Amino acid sequence: MGSLGRIWVLSGATFTQLVRMKTFYFLLIFCGLVALAGSLNIMAYNAEQQMKLVKDVSLGAMSLFASIFGIVATAMLIPRDMEDRTLYTILAKPVPRVEYLIGKLLGVLMVIAVSLAAMHIFFSVVLYARQEMLLADDMAMMAERADLSEEDVQNYAERVREQGVTWNLVNATGAIFMKSCVVTASAMVISTVATTSLFTIIVSILVFFIGHVQALARTYWVDVEGGGVVAKLFSALVALVFPDYQLFNVIDGVVSGEWIPFGAMLKLAGLTAFYVGIYTVVAYLVFAEKEL
Amino acid sequence: MVEVETTVGAAVPAVRIEKLVKDFSVPFRREKLRAVGGISLEMAAGEVYGLIGPNGSGKSTTMKVLLGLIAATSGRTEIFGVSSGKVSSRREVGYLPENPYFYKHLSGAETLRFYGRLCGLRGRELKARIGELLELVSLEDAADRRLGGYSKGMLQRIGLAQALIQEPRLVVLDEPTAGVDPAGSRKIRDLVLEMKGRGISVILCSHLLEQVQEVCDRVGIIHRGQLVKEGALEDLINIEEQTDIVLENAPPELLEEIRAKVDGSGARLVRMGHPRTTLERLFLRETGGEEGRERGGE
């Protein structure tokens, strides 16, 4: 059997393990949250604002879930395999260490992908239902107003629908998934160095936060402080080690109705491949030399 | 039954360890800790080799190097002529670590399927192999139960089954009976004997010297990272100048006659009395043996 077959077996086992750990229970919480956001009827908000609220809550929850899950699941799986000696029995079979790492990474990403897909579908259904309900109410009221033309009413309906279920939401979910890939890969690197799950979780969360502020810090060092050679080299090193997670933050734009161009999505995909590739190579180099 | 190829094994030893040294770094200290200090040994194919020694003597470290789980500081280890550093050397090996924990969320059959698929087994071949191994370790009734509900003895047996999944020519067992009750321990010993009967080479690291004595052809004693004694079991434990004679239903007059003859021959009678059973045999007799006790779970 080739490498791909073994990686598939390992990722499948990881997927099953996470599913049987009842990780999908989170989806119930998510559904409750989105249903609540979808049922809130804030009088001060117009239809567009109410739909933005549903999108904001849903995409925010999806992003938070994907990142936290990526860190926690990765932190739990590899160090636990080492602690329980399950790793010995796997690596005592003809399984190269790099295949083990890739299998684990893919297993976690498969769970995140399935979860995000399920959340996306549920949230789209709620958003669509909310959109149609609000439109029906507003159009009924507008029909009674003599100062509004048919064109005004249609323009309004179009504006509301732009805030509803569009392909832009798929882009947003895709960006969330790509960010979670990078977060998970970074947690995998840390878990190969760490000996406990707790250490991995703490350091991964730290890296996660650094990734969110590194662009700001680089701007300060290079632009505000003058940007000497040392500062530029240091900022380049920081950018290489810590991904700029702000680049993946498309939620605010999507919530406000901004369209994410295809080129931007391609750029994000390239960035994701770059960081996941780099992190996988680093994780392998560390793990290959690790004394088990 | 597994047919073991002996054509290769006849020429190439199952295991060859040459001048193996393993040092571990100690955090915040310059000097290293030497766990294994120059061990050399060779094990023929089809042999059952007992590696015994106190805790921390270097048994497990030697086995980990042999399995490629850790790298040697110096020296060389080979499995059927292939360097342990190569992944391909693990095609012929099954390993049961000390106190193993497998994935609790998988059932016994799923566990074997997972390891079998990692070894490239598929379809009917894998299914048949799983059935055969579950029968071998007497876990057919618990095949669909998750490992979280297995007893220690059952876990060791499913561990043994996963070690055998790809029909390896060498099986490494590290303290296979640690924490297992006498009935389970006896079952595992019987399985080792079964492997021996199939021609599988076995390395058995154990503290239970009686068990090693019962199943091993050759024994190596490790102490402080050194192989202090090594050889065929019979050669090591035989007391050449003494002879055992065990009689059944011998009348007292015969015993007196023997005693008198011994006294007159110049030999010395070291001991005469009733032989004793072992505590293990007594326990098994009183508790009704191991059969069926764990089959349906404990």
Residues of B whose CB is below 8 A from A291: 24, 70-71
For residue A93, give the chain B residue with the closest CA. Answer: B90
Residues of A whose CB is below 8 A from B87: 94-96
The burial class, CB within 10 Å (0-12 / 13-18 / 19+), for B62 is: buried
Q: What are the tens digits of pLDDT across the range B264-283?
A: 888 888 888 887 777 667 66
**Is there a contact between B101 and A84 if contact means CB atoms under 8 Å apart?**
yes
Contact of A91 with chain B, judged by CB distance below 8 Å, is answered with yes
Element holding B53 (H helix, E strand):
none
Measuring CA to CA, how many Å separate B141 from each of B108, B115, B181, B265? Answer: 10, 20, 20, 61
**Which residue reads 């392998």 in tokens?**
A284
How far is A160 from A152, CA to CA, in rounded Å?
12
For residue A14, give the chain B residue with the closest CA. Answer: B103
Burial A116-136 (b: 16+ CB within 10 A, else e): beebbebbbebbeebbeebbe
Contact of A193 with chain B, judged by CB distance below 8 Å, is answered with no
Dihedral sign, CA of B133, B137, B141, B142?
Answer: negative
Which candidate, B40, B42, B34, places its Cα nearest to that of B73?
B34
**Interface probe, candidates B118, B160, B205, chain A, greatest A C-beta count within 10 A:** B118
Please say whether the beta carbons of A131 and A123 come within 8 A.
no
The burial class, CB within 10 Å (0-12 / 13-18 / 19+), for B11 is: exposed
Residue A222 is predicted with a pLDDT of: 66
Please report, in tens digits, the pLDDT of each residue of chain B (298 residues total): 333 444 444 578 999 999 999 999 887 777 888 999 999 999 999 999 999 888 888 988 999 999 999 999 999 999 999 999 899 999 889 999 888 788 988 999 999 999 999 999 999 999 999 999 999 888 999 999 999 899 888 898 899 999 999 999 999 999 888 777 788 788 888 888 988 998 999 999 887 788 888 889 998 989 889 998 888 877 777 777 778 888 888 898 999 999 889 888 888 888 888 877 776 676 667 666 544 444 444 3
**Is there a contact between A16 and B95 if contact means CB atoms under 8 Å apart?**
no
For residue A3, give the chain B residue with the closest CA. Answer: B118
Please say whether the beta carbons of B51 and B59 come within 8 A.
yes
Burial A211-228 (b: 16+ CB within 10 A, else e): bbebbeebeebbeeeeee
Of B105, B118, B119, the CB nearest to A16: B105
**Is there a contact between A93 and B166 if contact means CB atoms under 8 Å apart?**
yes
The burial class, CB within 10 Å (0-12 / 13-18 / 19+), for B9 is: buried
Structure pTM?
A: 0.83
Dihedral sign, CA of B66, B67, B70, B76?
Answer: positive
Which candidate, B172, B160, B177, B137, places its Cα nearest to that of B280?
B177
Contact of A35 with chain B, judged by CB distance below 8 Å, is answered with no
**Is there a contact between A85 and B101 if contact means CB atoms under 8 Å apart?**
yes
Residues of A whose CB is below 8 A from B93: 92
Contact of A92 with chain B, judged by CB distance below 8 Å, is answered with yes
**Interface probe, candidates B60, B93, B117, chain A, greatest A C-beta count within 10 A:** B117
Q: Mean pLDDT in runs of 10 for chain A (292 residues)?
A: 88 92 81 78 75 88 92 89 88 93 96 94 90 84 78 83 86 94 95 88 92 78 67 76 85 84 92 94 91 80
Please say whether the beta carbons of B103 and A13 come within 8 A.
yes
How far is A10 from A94, CA to CA, in rounded Å?
13
Please say whether the beta carbons of A8 and A105 come within 8 A.
no
How far is B247 from B233, CA to CA, in rounded Å?
25
Please say whether the beta carbons of A190 and A154 come within 8 A.
no
The burial class, CB within 10 Å (0-12 / 13-18 / 19+), for A180 is: buried
Residue B165 is predicted with a pLDDT of: 93
**Is there a contact between B117 and A89 if contact means CB atoms under 8 Å apart?**
no
For residue B120, give the chain A residue with the closest CA. Answer: A1
H-type alpha helices, chain B:
7-11, 59-66, 108-118, 123-136, 152-163, 182-197, 209-215, 233-237, 252-265, 279-286
Please say whether the beta carbons of B36 and A258 come within 8 A.
no
